[in-house]
Amino acid sequence: MEETEQPTHDSAAAAAAEALDRKHSAMVERLSNRHHSRLSGKPDPSSATSFESTQSFLSQFSQSKSAIESDLTGIRHHSDPTQKPDLESISLQISALEKLVAESSYFLPPFEIRTCLNTIGHLRQTLDDVTSIVIPKKKFSFRNKPSKKTTTPIPPQNDAVFIEPEKKPGFRDLNPDHGFRNRENEVLTKEFNRSDSEIQIGEFTLSDLRGCEIRLKGCLRALFMDKLINCKVYVGVVMGSVLIEGAEDCVFVLGAHQIRIHNAKNCDFYLRVRSRPIIEDCNGVRFAPYCLNYEGIEKDLTEANLGVENGNWENVDDFRWLRALQSPNWSVLPENERISMVDTSNLGNVY
């Protein structure tokens, strides 16, 4: 009995494997055709599939948008002062919605991308408005604020910016105890260890720097950079997002999960990134693979799920260029113009 059943079982397995191979080959062919179609600007023969994907995306986007708006409305009319509204959760929902648009941008029509980004901008503004209403300044302040002198009063809504990691331009509102600000022609170094309080707080800021060399070694959760001119920035591993607003004639070496760049001009980026980098209102920016080294960097990269180079450093999305052709605002940095490996094992020297 066993001798007669075994061939049948083997035949069924072989047939299943052959069917799986056919499906895989067909899928690869469809993806390849779609990719070449996007590069050539010709209509995609699988436009029906793209249409279905777009409709599915719009449905998901609409549901998430409605849920966020409902939460914001509920908080705005919240009457119990003893319960603290979960603004951080709403902020994360908006960030997730923005990430969804970025990840779906390869098949979305330009008009839909523009509309969705405008919607996300309105949601962020509404969150800021609601935050300034429900969280008075006296009830929400930074931990070390009493010991930090400042010449400019911090308005109430600034506290919300600490909750909102991907805030609009300008990071003067973030915790002043965790970052470098208003420096010129200096070498600025910082090493992040797992026990550091900065890892728990999760944010570090570089703002209003000119002619500086910045070396950040180790892991941190989020990095914000604002108004950097003629600077060199060498960063180990960012477990979350990097947001750059306003940079000119700078060099950045960064490893992160997400990188978004606004208003950059004539800058070079050497990246190791999990998702596609996003640029807006940029020109003359060039990209190359990550080139940083220090003792323990492989462990840091692995723990941050950045251990393998996936090529996303050159898969740049320009949210201000919605045509099928290559954006003229960015390019791949020619190999003969790239810097060599940067070693920050000793924070006192960069090779």
**pLDDT for 47:** 47
Task: To the nearest 10°, report the CA torsion of 55, 61, 64, 70.
Answer: -100
323-339 mean pLDDT: 89
The answer to whether the beta carbons of residues 206 and 180 sit under 8 Å apart is yes
**Fold of the CATH domain 46-137:** Methane Monooxygenase Hydroxylase; Chain G, domain 1 (1.20.58)
Q: Identify the band that residue 35 occupies on the pLDDT scale cut at 50, 70 and 90.
A: very low
pLDDT recorded at residue 84: 62
Q: What percentage of the chain carries pLDDT values higher than 90?
A: 31
Q: What pLDDT sits at residue 263?
A: 93
Whether the per-residue pLDDT at 333 is higher than 90: the answer is: yes
Structure confidence by residue, pLDDT tens digits, 74-91 = 887 765 555 566 788 888
CATH of the domain spanning 165-343: 2.160.20.70
Distance linking the first and last C-alpha atoms of the chain: 73
Instruction: Spell out the domain ranges in the chain.
Output: 46-137, 165-343
Nearest to 86 by CA among 95, 74, 98, 97: 74
pLDDT at position 13 = 53
For the chain, percent of residues with pLDDT exceeding 70 = 66
Higher pLDDT, 332 or 221: 332
Cα of 318 vs its chain's centroid, Å: 13
| Length of the chain, in residues | 351
Q: pLDDT (tens digit, 9 = 90+) per residue, 43-63? A: 444 444 556 678 888 889 889
pLDDT of residue 210: 96
- pLDDT given for residue 171 in this prediction: 41
At residue 278, does pLDDT exceed 60? yes
Alpha-carbon Rg for the chain, nearest whole angstrom, is 24
Across residues 319-340, what is the average pLDDT? 87
pLDDT of residue 130: 79
Q: Residue 208: what pLDDT?
A: 94
Residues forming a β-bridge with 179: 205
- Give the amino acid at 345: S
**pLDDT reading at 140 higher than 80:** no
- The dihedral sign for the CA sequence 40, 43, 49, 55: positive
The secondary structure of residue 113, as a DSSP letter, is H
Average pLDDT, the chain: 75
Cα distance between residue 314 and residue 322, in whole Å: 17
pLDDT digits (tens, 9 = 90+) for 285-317: 999 999 999 988 999 898 888 988 999 999 998
DSSP assigned state of 156: T
Query: At 19, is the pLDDT very low, low, confident or very high (cuts 50, 70, 90)?
Result: low
122-133 confidence digits (pLDDT tens): 888 888 877 777
